[in-house]
Structure 1
Amino acid sequence: MDFTARKRKSIKPVEENPCSQYPHDLNMYNTPPTGEITLEEFETLAIHRLQLLRTLEQNSLKGHKIFSDEWKRCIKEELTKLELKKFVRLMNGLDGQTDLDYSARRTDHLSHYILRLAYCRSEDLRRWFINRELEWFKLRFMAQNQNTINRFLESNKLIYVPITEEEKDEILNELIMSTANMSDITIRTTNFFKVPFDEVYSLVRNRRIFVKMGYAYIPTSELIVCVQAKFRANLSEALSVANHRLPSLDDDRINTFLLNLYNSYTGKDYSTPNSEKEIDIRNLDNYSKKHFPLCMKHLHETLRASHHLKHDSRLQYGLFLKAIGVRFDDALEFWREEFTKIMDNDKFEKNYSYNVKHAYGKVGSMVNYSPFSCLKIIMGSVGAGDHHGCPFKHWDASLVKRKMMDCGVASEGIESILALVKNGHFQIACTKYFEFTHSLQAPSTTINHPNQFFEESINIATGEKKKIV
């Protein structure tokens, strides 16, 4: 990725030797990729990396202990559902030398550098990116055997030499008393490394290791702490450099894409209305009670009660109805029936019917508009008198609590949801709301879209196991 070139050149495939460039499943990302790739592959790799990192974050917030077997299993399942099999391959610790292995490592390498360009732009973005990349690095490191770890360390000039048996015998009692989560027998048979204590602050702070004369004595299992510290330092510096060089990136297509990437929705495309299961408009009240996410349920109830919604609320709700399978004729009649309870038909036709037709691509530019994702709803602004937006983001906590009680959520569930809301985990809160309103049945993935909520709810009600991607 050349930041300095000002003249655009014709696009040609990357030419590289995968055997020499990607010898390990692990990567310190010290060497930038060379050559050129198509804009389409650039965008695809970025989206796939973003899906990977968001999956790591969301599974950590679900309550699974990070790096536990359950946490790893959930990540593998979700990445498989998202059809990100190359990343799953890197989690298995195969460290193979086949074309599939090289292809997976190439995807990992290129996508990491692309996201650097998107996440180097602010302190908050850099912090989020570094934390997720550290999790991804450690996840792969833990899957490697000792031989592959040694090869990786050697190739990256990370030399950690075990202490001699004589030195180990001299401090054996101290190691036994100071090394956490290891039995006497395990300590006697495990290699220990002598490293400067400032490379393993977290272990020293938590009193997990023996320290003497400015050196920490760490077992092989804790070697990842040293490597991670170097990984963090290198990545932090690299992001700072990338941020300073961003003005040299003069391709508007890439700049626009990268600028908005962190706000991008990366889930299933709901822009095409559900033609398999058309919704009977007469049963919309019943659907609202049983299958709508809280944001859409609130809009429906408000419309029924006041017979009116402002423009942004109509847009958010109307596109949702379109995507769940409400036909155009039914939608137009539905909005007309409600609005004409407080106005005459001429006023509705003059001021409001065009919006319904426009949402269905019947007038204007004939665009097939996509329904709003959770991220778009969360990032939107909500003013006085508005009813759109995300309840978990835009409502007062007392109102959320009252609505949870009305929906039959138990007090323990309400408290867990409010704790997530307080920490800004709005989509995880919605996922928990789904569980508590569906007899503790979890959706296949974290809720990222109102239409995903509806689809998964319908699938549970009908006993279907439809894959959500």
Structure 2
Amino acid sequence: MDFTARKRKSSKPTIPNHNSLFSHDLNMYNVPPTGETTLEEFETLAIERLQLLRILEQANCKGNKLFSEDWKKCVKEDLTKLELRKFIRLLNGLDGQTELDINARKADHLSHYILRLAYCRSEELRRWFINRELEWFRLRFMFQNQNTLSRFLESNKLIYAPITDEQKDEIYNELVMSTANMSDVSVRTTNFFKVPFQEVCSLVKNRKIFIKLGFAYIPTNELIVCVQAKFRASLSEALNVASHRLPSLDDERINTFLMNLNNSYTGKDYSSVNSDKKDIDPADLDSYSKKHYPLCMRHIHETLRTAHHLKHFCRLQYGLFLKGIGLTLEDALQFWREEFTKLMDHDKFEKQYAYNVKHSYGKIGSMINYSPFNCIKIITDSVGPGEHHGCPFRNWDATLVKQKMLDHGVSTEGIDTILDLVKNRHFQIACTKYFEYTHSLQAPSTTINHPNQYFEESVNIIGEKKKIS
């Protein structure tokens, strides 16, 4: 990808056209892409990889030990739910050479480079991207057998030749005693590699390997420590280089897309919900708010019932949510009118507030079918004094969150779990746990990333089969 040209007629990203680069499911990403792709494919690949990396992050926060069988199962299930078949194919460990295999690797290669451009912009973004890419690299590494792994090492000029059987026999007893989680039989049947001990400091620190004369003897399954260290160093350097060359990328469409990518919503678009449904009765909203609303929407609804008024952005956040669950325009007008006219006369409501309700349904003004706000939008919105929109897990102090959890029947254990997630700024995971603890420990199908998703999942679990999609 050319970062040096200051002026060019077309800023089309590129994709390799030589299959030799894509003969293996693992990739060190040392060779930049070449070729051409459309802007639409560029954006699609970027969003798909962002979905992949967020799945890895969410699997880490679901209580699964990193790289455990449960963790790997969770990642595969979420990839399947989002139909990210290209990435699933890279986890079969077979290094297939079909056209589908090659295309999956091409997509993996280009999408990695696209996200380099999006995540090289700050130290925080680089750190997040490196951690997720290391997890993706290691996950694929774990599915390799000795033959495919040897081929990968050779193709990337990573010289890690296993010691001979004679060398292994000389230190066999030491390997059995010093190598973690290895039995006599495992040591006999596993390849061991002799590497400088400074390349595997983490293994030395945890006393998991045998060391002799400055060299560590590591089994195949620990070779990832060496390879991953090289991958981390290479990727870190590449991101620093990209951050300095990025200003020369002069396509406004691509720049705008890349700058906003880390805050992009990658889930279902609830604007597709028919706004003329008549399944949601305004009279049921009090009941729904207690059983099916996420904390952000429940708080807004309860505030509205108490104060009989909401400020603009709060009305917008809640109004679009109601539209997304199936409240018709006519019922929405009735709902807001009945509540607001407890403080004002009918004419004032019609003059000052009815227009905004109609506008959010796309019936007047610019006639846009506005989408309900997703979690990322809600979390990143600024909230001023006296306003009640935004994400409670982000905006409230821990004492208030704890009190609300108690009021809503969350157990002490659940409160501690949620507060710990909030402290570490995992707001969507905290909302997912809130869902679990208010639904008899039944988890949603995926991490909560949209208030309307929360509503749908809750209705499906509790069993009130309203047609909401």
Output the TM-score relative to the length of structure 1.
0.96
CA distance in 1, matches of 2:328, 2:123: 46
**CA contact 1:81–1:467 (8 Å) conserved in 2:** no
Q: Aligned runs of 1:154-233 on 2, under 5 Å? A: 154-233=154-233
Distance 1:467 1:219, change over 3 A: farther
CA distance in 1, matches of 2:242, 2:279: 49
SS in 2 for 1:194: strand
Aligned partner of 1:333 in structure 2 is 334
**CA contact 1:89–1:104 (8 Å) conserved in 2:** yes
CA distance in 2, matches of 1:444, 1:466: 18
Cα drift, residue 464 of structure 1: 7.0
Q: Which moved more, 1:301-310 or 1:452-461?
A: 452-461
Aligned partner of 1:343 in structure 2 is 344
Q: Aligned runs of 1:79-98 on 2, under 5 Å? A: 79-98=79-98
Amino acid across the alignment from 2:448: I
Aligned partner of 1:245 in structure 2 is 245
CA deviations over 1:305-361 (Å, ceiling 9, x no partner): 110111111111011011111111111111111111111122222222221122111
Cα drift, residue 194 of structure 1: 1.0
Aligned partner of 2:20 in structure 1 is 20
Aligned partner of 1:430 in structure 2 is 431
Cα drift, residue 242 of structure 1: 0.5
SS in 2 for 1:216: strand
CA distance in 2, matches of 1:84, 1:464: 29
- The answer to whether the aligner puts 1:143 opposite 2:143 as a matched pair is yes
**CA contact 2:325–2:452 (8 Å) conserved in 1:** yes
SS in 2 for 1:200: helix
Aligned partner of 1:310 in structure 2 is 311
SS in 2 for 1:94: coil
CA distance in 2, matches of 1:442, 1:248: 46
Cα drift, residue 172 of structure 1: 2.9
Cα drift, residue 252 of structure 1: 0.4
**CA contact 2:162–2:193 (8 Å) conserved in 1:** yes
CA distance in 1, matches of 2:208, 2:45: 39
SS in 2 for 1:91: coil
Amino acid across the alignment from 2:101: D
Query: How many residues matched?
Result: 468
Q: Aligned runs of 1:55-454 on 2, under 5 Å? A: 55-274=55-274, 278-454=279-455
Unaligned segments of structure 2, at least 5 residues:
none
CA distance in 2, matches of 1:418, 1:13: 43
SS in 1 for 2:271: coil
CA distance in 2, matches of 1:40, 1:466: 33
Cα drift, residue 467 of structure 1: 13
Amino acid across the alignment from 1:308: H
Cα drift, residue 4 of structure 1: 2.1
CA distance in 2, matches of 1:159, 1:87: 27
Amino acid across the alignment from 1:35: G
- The answer to whether the aligner puts 1:459 opposite 2:454 as a matched pair is no
**CA contact 1:190–1:219 (8 Å) conserved in 2:** yes
CA deviations over 1:232-274 (Å, ceiling 9, x no partner): 1110111011101001100000000000100110000011234
Cα drift, residue 171 of structure 1: 2.8
Aligned partner of 1:29 in structure 2 is 29
Distance 1:137 1:309, change over 3 A: same
CA distance in 1, matches of 2:460, 2:304: 26
Amino acid across the alignment from 1:28: M
CA deviations over 1:170-210 (Å, ceiling 9, x no partner): 33333222211112332233222111112112111111112
Amino acid across the alignment from 1:302: T
Cα drift, residue 15 of structure 1: 7.4
CA distance in 2, matches of 1:16, 1:204: 40
SS in 1 for 2:44: helix
CA deviations over 1:84-129 (Å, ceiling 9, x no partner): 0110111111210101101110110010000000001111111110
**CA contact 2:405–2:415 (8 Å) conserved in 1:** yes
SS in 1 for 2:159: coil
Amino acid across the alignment from 1:278: D
Amino acid across the alignment from 2:240: S
Amino acid across the alignment from 2:411: A
Distance 1:82 1:389, change over 3 A: same
CA distance in 1, matches of 2:342, 2:230: 67
Distance 1:31 1:16, change over 3 A: closer
CA deviations over 1:423-458 (Å, ceiling 9, x no partner): 111111110111111111111100000000001111
Cα drift, residue 294 of structure 1: 0.7
**CA contact 1:361–1:369 (8 Å) conserved in 2:** yes
Amino acid across the alignment from 1:425: H
CA distance in 1, matches of 2:274, 2:446: 20
Amino acid across the alignment from 1:416: T
Amino acid across the alignment from 2:291: K
Cα drift, residue 5 of structure 1: 3.0
CA deviations over 1:127-176 (Å, ceiling 9, x no partner): 11011001101111111111011011000000111223343333333322
Cα drift, residue 368 of structure 1: 1.4
Distance 1:273 1:463, change over 3 A: closer
Amino acid across the alignment from 1:147: N
Cα drift, residue 43 of structure 1: 0.4
Distance 1:116 1:15, change over 3 A: closer
CA deviations over 1:20-68 (Å, ceiling 9, x no partner): 2311011000001101211100000000000000001101110111212
Cα drift, residue 462 of structure 1: 2.7
Unaligned segments of structure 1, at least 5 residues:
none
Cα drift, residue 220 of structure 1: 1.3
**CA contact 1:51–1:266 (8 Å) conserved in 2:** yes
Cα drift, residue 463 of structure 1: 7.4
Q: Which moved more, 1:95-104 or 1:354-363?
A: 354-363
What root-mean-square deviation, in Å, do the aligned CA atoms of Structure 1 and Structure 2 show? 2.0
